[in-house]
Amino acid sequence: MTKPAPVVAPTLEEFETAHENVAQVAIQTPVLHSHFLSELIGSDVYLKCENLQRTGAYKLRGAFNRMSKLTPAERKRGVVAASAGNHAQGVALAAKKLGIKATIFMPVGASLPKFQATKNYGAEVVLEGAVFAETLKAAQAYSAKQGAIFIPPYDNLDVVTGQGTVGLEILDQVPDVQNILVAIGGGGLAAGVAVAAKLKAAKQGRKIKIIGVQSQNAASYVPSLKAGKEVEIQTQRTIADGIAVSKPGHIPFELIAKHIDKVVTVSDDEIAKAIVVLLERAKQVVEPAGAAAVAALMSGAIKPKGKTVVVLSGGNIDPLLMQKIIGFGLTASERYTTISVMLPDRPGQLVKTAEAIAAAQGNVVEVLHTRHGEGLEIGEVELRVSVETMGHDHRERVIKALKDAGLQPRITQA
C-alpha cells in the first residue's frame, strides 16, 4: 500500500488569498460577546456565528474555494457531492454562483428542510442509500461514470484552506483572542482554523490555543491522535450527526495532529443543554454539531484561561428535531421532569397531588391518569405528572412536597 504524501500546510498568504476568494459568496459572520458564558468561566467568551452564514453553515467557504479553482474543462463536467445537509447546501450554492451543474446525493430520509434548501439552490438532488456510506459510494460511482468532479466535504487542501478563513476573521474581530474552541467531525474546519489562526497570531508575535470538540459517541480523533494515525471507529447514535464521522480525513488529521492543542468530548445531554442556553441567552438557533464547542465550556470539559472564541459552526436544524432537543435539554437541565405517583382509586387524590406540587411552586404541564399499567393493583391508579421546575434544587423541593403530603413520587424521566 502506497504511503500518502506528507501534508504541507497552507501558508498565511494562501489563507488570505482564499479569504478574498470566498468573500465573493460568503459573508463575514458576526462575533457576539456572551455574558452568560463569560460569567460561567470567569473570562470573556465570544461566539463566532457561522450559524448565520449563507446556507446556515461554514461549509460554503471550503466548497467555493475548491470549486473556484476548477479549470474551464472541469467546470463543464459538473460537480458531485454526497452529504446529509450542510456540505450539500454549500456545494449547491457555490455551483450556482460559479455556473456549474451540481448533483448532490443525499441519504433516503434526509431532513426535508435540508433537501428542499439544496434543491432551491439549483442542484439536482438524488436520494440514495439507507446510510451515508451507501450515499457516498453512489456519489463516487456517479463521478466515475459521468466524469463529474467529486467535491469532498473535508479531505482536500483547498477545502481546508477555505474553512480556515473562519480563523482569519476571528483574529480580525477579536485581535487579542487567546483560545478558539471548534467542533471536529472529519476535521476540515478545525484543521483550517488551527493553522490559519496560529499563523496569523505568530505574525503578531504571540501564541494562541486551539481546542477541538467531538461528540463522545463519534470521537474518532481521540484514538487516532493517540495512535498517531487515522483510526476508524464504530460510531454510536448521537444528536450531533453533523460531526459523526467514523474516521478522520487524512489531510485534516495531519494538520490537526500538529496544530490542535487538545481534543475533548461531550455527551448528547451536554449538547442539548448548550442548544437550550444558546436559544435562551444568546438568541441563536444552532444545530447540535454547532453547539458542541459551547457544551465543552458548560460541562467543564475544557477550562480555558483568557479571552475565548467559540465557533458556532452551523444552524441548520430541523424544527421537529429542535422541538425534541429542547425537551431533551430541559430534562437534562432538570427543568422538566415526569413524576409517577401511585394513588388509591378514590376521589380527591388528583387534587391532593396537584396542591402539593403547587405549594412547591412547580408548574404542571401535562397529566396522565390511568387505571391500566404494569404493576398496578386493583383499586390503584397511576398518575404521571410532567412538571416544569427551575433546576435541580427546585425539583428536589417538588419531590419533598409530594412526600410530605404522604405520597410516594418516582421520577420516570430525569
Identify the CA nearest to 154 among candidates 93, 225, 245: 245
The answer on 316 and 185 residing in a single domain is yes
The answer on 113 and 44 residing in a single domain is no
The answer on 175 and 39 residing in a single domain is yes
Main-chain phi, psi angles of 163, to 5 degrees: -65, -30
Instruction: Please indicate, yes or no, if residue 292 is contained in any of the structural domains.
Output: yes
The H or E element containing residue 97 is helix 86-98
DSSP 8-state secondary structure symbol assigned to residue 219: B
Among residues 279, 301, 330, which one ends one of the domains?
A: 330
Question: What cell does 290 get?
Answer: 454547532
- How much of the chain exceeds pLDDT 70, in percent? 97
Using CA atoms, how far apart are residues 158 and 142, in angstroms rounded to an integer? 22
The answer on 381 and 323 residing in a single domain is no
Taking residues 97-121, report their average pLDDT: 91
Among residues 127, 150, 173, which one ends one of the domains?
A: 150
Instruction: Please indicate, yes or no, if residue 394 is contained in any of the structural domains.
Output: yes
The answer on 319 and 200 residing in a single domain is yes
Is residue 220 within 8 A of residue 201, CB to CB? The reply is: no
> What is the pTM for the complete model shown?
0.85
Instruction: Please indicate, yes or no, if residue 7 is contained in any of the structural domains.
Output: no
**pLDDT tens sequence across 358-410:** 888 988 888 887 776 666 667 788 878 888 888 888 988 988 888 988 888 88
The answer on 187 and 55 residing in a single domain is yes
Is residue 55 within 8 A of residue 12, CB to CB? The reply is: no
The answer on 274 and 133 residing in a single domain is no
The answer on 231 and 139 residing in a single domain is no
| Number of structural domains the chain divides into | 3
Is residue 143 within 8 A of residue 124, CB to CB? The reply is: no
Instruction: Please indicate, yes or no, if residue 403 is contained in any of the structural domains.
Output: yes
**pLDDT tens sequence across 127-138:** 998 877 788 899
**pLDDT tens sequence across 151-166:** 999 999 999 999 999 9
Is residue 290 within 8 A of residue 315, CB to CB? The reply is: yes
Is residue 357 within 8 A of residue 329, CB to CB? The reply is: no
The answer on 170 and 278 residing in a single domain is yes
pLDDT of amino acid 38: 97
DSSP 257-309: HHH--EEEEE-HHHHHHHHHHIIIII-----HHHHHHHHHHHHTS----S-EE
The answer on 317 and 406 residing in a single domain is no
Residues 342, 347, 351, 352: is their CA dihedral positive or negative?
Answer: negative
Residues forming a β-bridge with 183: 213
The answer on 228 and 163 residing in a single domain is yes
Using CA atoms, how far apart are residues 260 and 268, in angstroms rounded to an integer? 23
Using CA atoms, how far apart are residues 364 and 371, in angstroms rounded to an integer? 20
Q: What is the CATH number of the domain that holds 389?
A: 3.30.70.260
Instruction: Please indicate, yes or no, if residue 3 is contained in any of the structural domains.
Output: no
Among residues 97, 115, 150, which one ends one of the domains?
A: 150
Q: What is the CATH number of the domain that holds 104?
A: 3.40.50.1100
Instruction: Please indicate, yes or no, if residue 324 is contained in any of the structural domains.
Output: yes
pLDDT of amino acid 1: 53
pLDDT of amino acid 374: 61
Instruction: Please indicate, yes or no, if residue 171 is contained in any of the structural domains.
Output: yes
**pLDDT tens sequence across 274-320:** 999 999 999 999 999 999 999 999 999 999 999 999 999 999 998 88
Taking residues 99-124, report their average pLDDT: 91
Query: What type of residue sits at position 331?
Result: T
For residue 209, give its domain range.
12-59+157-330
Identify the CA nearest to 258 among candidates 302, 213, 212: 212
Question: What cell does 349 get?
Answer: 387524590
Using CA atoms, how far apart are residues 83 and 64, in angstroms rounded to an integer? 16
pLDDT of amino acid 373: 61
pLDDT of amino acid 309: 98
The answer on 242 and 220 residing in a single domain is yes
Instruction: Please indicate, yes or no, if residue 104 is contained in any of the structural domains.
Output: yes
